[in-house]
Amino acid sequence: MFMQKEDALIFCLAGETVRIEAWGNNALRIRATKLSDFSGKNQALSPCDDYQGDICLSEEEATIQNGKIKCVVGKTGCLTFYKDNQVILKEYYRDVTAVNEKSTVLTTKAREYQAVGSTDFKITLRFEANEGEKIYGMGQYQQPNLNLSGCVLELAQKNSQISIPFYLSSSGYGFLWNNPCVGEVMFGANCLKWQGEMAEEFDYWITADDTPKDILKNYTEVTGRAPEFPESALGLWQCKLRYRTQEELLSVAREYKKRGIPLDVIVIDYFHWVYQGDWEFDPAYWPDPQAMVDELKEIGVRCVVSVWPTVEKRSKHFDEMADRGLLVRTERGFETCMDFLNDTVFFDATKGETKQYVWDKIKKNYCKYGIDMFWLDVAEPEFTKYNYENYRYCDGSVLKVGNQYPRHYSKLFYDGLIEEGHTDIVNLVRSAWVGSQKYAALVWSGDIRSNFATLRDQLSAGLNIGIAGIPWWTTDTGGFHGDVTDDGFNELLVRWFQFSTFCPVLRMHGDRGPHDIPLLSELNYGGGFCPTGRPNELWSYGEDVYQILRKYLDIRLDMKPYIQSVMKEASENGSPVIRTMFYEFPEDEACWNLSDQYMFGPKYLVAPVMYQDMRERKVYFPDGKWRSIHTGEIIDGKQTLMVSAPLEIIPVYEKIN
């Protein structure tokens, strides 16, 4: 039943073959299939030949150990994982014939296959639930739960929802569902269950180690780490929906210069083109991109240009891309993927030929002006109807491989910029998958609402996506969908900007209503027919708000050397930039129960104010001494205090020992 082959433990049972092997530091990879052989795909994992497990075989059981983690397999084929001889995770198995405490009237196996076509399966994987276990990571979901135990999560990419199926457990292990298919995970109290709608095989990876930081280091060793973040983009990013013309954009940059406000980045949003899929400036509204970029560089501002993967049928490139098979295909019905401001089809970012074709257009129409930063919008991609079974990439059905699309999208632009000789790369992107971080992906949280409940969701989203391996993360400060005439909007903006100051990237963006600004053109194409929102610069909300925002921008700029050091740590060991309290203080049980405060790198405790009219809040101080960045007051740790938080103050404390 058990055998050793190519440094792997292999066993066959009831038509299923299972392969377990060392894969990284203190880690194992597990694959299982009912096909004649494994696919040979590494999916999110990098090749890893530097580790070899210790394998022991007998008639009754087999074991494989790699450092701190050990897997034991019995005659039933059920896998149990140990760290330092303590069970940390066990596959779920119930047998009607068993004569023990697991005896039931039902037989339930851990790994379940349901045929979908001739070579694919709907797969289900079950584990025993660990009582009291806390679970973190999994990407970005718009909900307030930091601890995901008890949650049900869709494994699918959508606008503002990012599936990165890795979690960190309070039991001392990290787990990766190494499969890009659409599915679902249930972190139930009675069972932990993963489901994939279409796959050739089971594939998961598990690591065990002493601290959350060690676990993240092991995980990012095999999935990749972010490069060092450009110092030139650590300050303010100015953006709105949307600067419609070259003159509008430059007038904003000039006003920042006139006011003496340092501006690192300014963003040209969507529909600066004539048709979707042209990937070039509409000359009617952007007549001299070279002069624009030159002027921005002269005042020290980098320029970001929005790119969409949509190609509308009026685009100059549509027919050629369709003929060459460079577009996403539909299995039935019309060849339309998205109908925002016209019928469009997405380009297939998973296909090598598509990547080269698109990059050639980007290089010709943007890079030649000196533009070297891109906003990769609609990166999920955002299907008008999420009928995943109706769309196909070159790699297979979206139902089977769809979750990795945003990683291919980021890789397309990263590889292109590397080819052009750039090193200080960062691209803003609306979605990600496991490993996107190594392609300089700055993820933002999508088109979210402007209210305090949504602001609270962003804290759990940002902390969990950091644990899932994405250290570069930001939001639309103030939310995307908002009306400046709403009661409390200015307060929301202030509190959100304060939070954003202590995030990886500080970025102003939003679609500010009411939408009463006339269109530039009555034509149904080009840069003039798409609407714009109200102004969204630091000075757009009155003098009182301006003074507060300017204060926090100055704080941010003063912290640039520190932020750069935190970014460097992320590139060296995979640590998030914004961190759960337990990440820095894993021995402090109280920190595992905190969800409304966080660490900005290893040094600053941040307690954001995320409720309207709140002017004080509780803060827990771990062991040590903590100094307020506002008053200089020094507070002893291991206590919870009610601290003052007037509108102009976000409680932030520096650890001084």
| Residues with a known catalytic role | 377, 380, 447
3-class DSSP assignment, residue 250: helix
* 224 contacts: CB under 8 Å, gap ≥ 6: 46, 435, 437, 438, 469
The widest CA-to-CA distance across the chain, in whole angstroms, is: 81
Question: Element (H or E) spanning 8, and its range?
Answer: strand 8-13
**Sequence-separated (6 or more) residues with CB below 8 Å from residue 186:** 152, 153, 192, 193
- SS3 (DSSP) at 144: coil
Q: How many CB atoms sit inside 10 A of residue 540's CB?
A: 16
Pure H helices in 160-229 = 212-223
The answer to whether 353 and 321 are in contact (CB under 8 A) is no
Residue in 437, 469, 562, 563 with CA at minimum distance from that of residue 212: 469
Q: Which amino acid is at 132?
A: G
Edge to edge, what strands does the sheet with 192-199 contain? 111-116, 120-127, 192-199, 183-187, 152-155
Measured CA to CA, the distance from residue 194 to residue 126 in angstroms comes to 6
398 near 391, Cβ under 8 Å? yes
DSSP reduced 3-state for 551: helix
User: What span, in angstroms and rounded, lies between the C-alpha atoms of 247 and 286?
Assistant: 8
Determine the Cα–Cα distance for residues 98 and 232; give it in Å rounded to an integer: 64
> What are the DSSP calls for 47-97, one per residue?
P--S---EEEE-SS-EEEEETTEEEEE-TT--EEEEETTEEEEEB--BBTT
| Residues 638, 621: Cα–Cα separation, whole Å | 6
Length of the chain: 657
Closest C-alpha among 131, 217, 111, 223 to residue 168: 217
